Structure 1
């Protein structure tokens, strides 16, 4: 007896007719494509916002106000997921800050919770036990860490070590640029 391997068109391989001529097969969906992320305090003060979908400032303010009120009104023992408009809201409270993300209905809430947790871990590593004041007074670093971690609402780098290394390198470049140099050093004579 001879072994028969699946040929194109058999059940084991997709047929050439599976994708329309001239079109690439559909791109697989990411595990969680975030629409936006909000950080706000227990008092409802917005501390950080990152939008991955184009919206007017008026719409952003309306969404922010509505979500802050909704999340703050929920009891601590309630589920961290809620359906809102045509999105799912995933939130988690760490100390005095709420981290709130909006994802599409078919996206995975648990992955989004992990993304929130990973961001908090990155902030903790960088600031050494992050607190609300760190976010207030170093908001540009909080945004930079988020941008190194997420790109377009999707995880770009899963390694905490790599994210922190990129931030450390950027800090060194910034320190180097801020260090005063003599005129001779500027023109390369020393």
Structure 2
């Protein structure tokens, strides 16, 4: 089977930035000190947010390429090596957004703000160590549903234990 993602190497980091420059999600697959991460976010926010809408979605930056795509009020950005294929990364970004859309039902910035842990979980199902691991939306949806049911079961168990303790201490 031919896979468009097969020649791809590694994503160095993922950033989701709002139009106002607020960071909504970051995932680092290459080692960056905290000070350097802050600097990277500041630099890239300024670089990407000021670009015109008719310019291409690739930016050369510090010997890397940053591939980004705007969906509504969010910029989804991924940093790759200079020799990697930008179109593959655009497909990975779109794949991530489609899965977020399916999960949240037309995802918006507020979904990611209030459910950031779920957005990270979805990203972790798609990318591991900066490499695409799951290209099937159905498989990702199945895994996320299983995770949600585990979380619900744990909440119910915690509630029942709390009720037992409350009854015992009366």
Q: TM-score when scaled to structure 1?
A: 0.79
Matched, 1:157 2:141: no
Per the alignment, do residues 76 and 166 of structure 1 end up closer, same or farther by CA in structure 2, a change over 3 Å counting? Answer: same
Q: How does 1:160-179 map to 2 (within 5 A)?
A: 160-179=137-156
Matched, 1:113 2:90: yes
- The equivalent position to 1:54 in structure 2, one of 17, 22, 31, is 31
Alpha-carbon shift at residue 30 of structure 1 (Å): 4.6
Tell me which of the two structures has the higher relative contact order, counting C-alpha pairs closer than 8 angstroms and 6 or more residues apart.
2
- Look up the SS of the partner of 2:52 in the other structure: coil
Structure ranking higher in helix proportion: 2
- Look up the SS of the partner of 2:106 in the other structure: coil
8 Å Cα contact 1:32-1:111 kept in structure 2 = no
- Look up the SS of the partner of 1:101 in the other structure: strand
Alpha-carbon shift at residue 32 of structure 1 (Å): 3.8
Which residue does 1:142 correspond to in 2?
119
Unmatched tracts of structure 1, length 5 or more: 1-28, 186-190
Unmatched tracts of structure 2, length 5 or more: 1-5, 165-170
Per the alignment, do residues 128 and 34 of structure 1 end up closer, same or farther by CA in structure 2, a change over 3 Å counting? Answer: same
Which residue does 2:60 correspond to in 1?
83
Alpha-carbon shift at residue 66 of structure 1 (Å): 0.1
- Look up the SS of the partner of 2:160 in the other structure: coil
Report runs of 4+ in structure 1 exceeding 4 Å deviation.
none
| Higher Cα radius of gyration | 1
Alignment root-mean-square deviation, CA: 1.5
Q: TM-score when scaled to structure 2?
A: 0.89
Which residue does 2:22 correspond to in 1?
45
Alpha-carbon shift at residue 85 of structure 1 (Å): 0.8
